[in-house]
Amino acid sequence: NIKLYTERAEWGWALQSVLTSEKSVSEIPEAMDDYFCNFLVRLGMSRTLDCFQTEWYELIERGVFTAEDAGLVPTAYTRNQQLEAENMRLRKDLENYKLAANKAKEAFLKMQKERDFHRMHHRRVVQEKNRLIGDIKRLKAHYASYEPVLKQLTEKYQTALRQKMLTSLERDRAVGLLSLYHYAESGVQNTKRLQCCEISGTYVTLMQL
Tell me what pLDDT residue 193 has.
Answer: 58
Instruction: Report whether 60 contacts 10 (CB < 8 A).
Output: no
By mean pLDDT, which of 6-10, 28-32, 46-50, 194-198 is the weakest? 6-10
The proportion of the chain whose per-residue pLDDT surpasses 90, expressed as a percent, equals 22
**Residue range 87-130, pLDDT digits in tens:** 999 999 999 999 999 999 999 999 999 999 999 999 999 999 99
**Residue range 150-207, pLDDT digits in tens:** 888 888 888 888 888 888 888 888 888 887 777 777 766 666 555 555 555 544 444 4
> Dihedral sign, CA of 33, 34, 39, 42?
positive
- Cα–Cα distances in Å, from 153 out to 157, 160, 161, 162, 164? 6, 10, 12, 14, 16
Instruction: Report whether 56 contacts 33 (CB < 8 A).
Output: yes
Beta bridge partners of 72: 31
The DSSP secondary structure of 13-75, one letter per residue, reads HHHHHHHTSSS-GGGSPPBHHHHHHHHHHHHT-HHHHHHHHHHHHHHHHHTS--HHHH-B--H
- Cα–Cα distances in Å, from 17 out to 13, 71, 74, 75? 6, 15, 17, 17
> Dihedral sign, CA of 196, 197, 199, 200?
positive
